[in-house]
Amino acid sequence: TTVCVPLPATGDFAIAVQHDANGNRQTDVSTDGAGMSNNPGIKKILGLVPRPPSVDKTRFTAGPGVTRMTISMQYL
């Protein structure tokens, strides 16, 4: 899937995306996928609950014009 996101200005941003695999509009940790800018790993707390990475790991700088990136979906 390709998505174009218009940004208000140049600067630092972070992007998070989620795949609602069964279309129920709820987060189902066991089946839904997630991904973030810079593709950091998603760790689990006590091996059960996903813990999002810090903004420092997902931050990117968007300049003038098009900033391209690939975000890999992760399924736990």
Contact between 22 and 31 (Cβ < 8 Å): yes
Averaged over 17-30, what is the pLDDT?
Answer: 89
The segment with the largest mean pLDDT, out of 11-20, 21-30, 40-49, is: 11-20
What pLDDT shows up at residue 63? 93
What pLDDT shows up at residue 11? 96
What pLDDT shows up at residue 47? 61
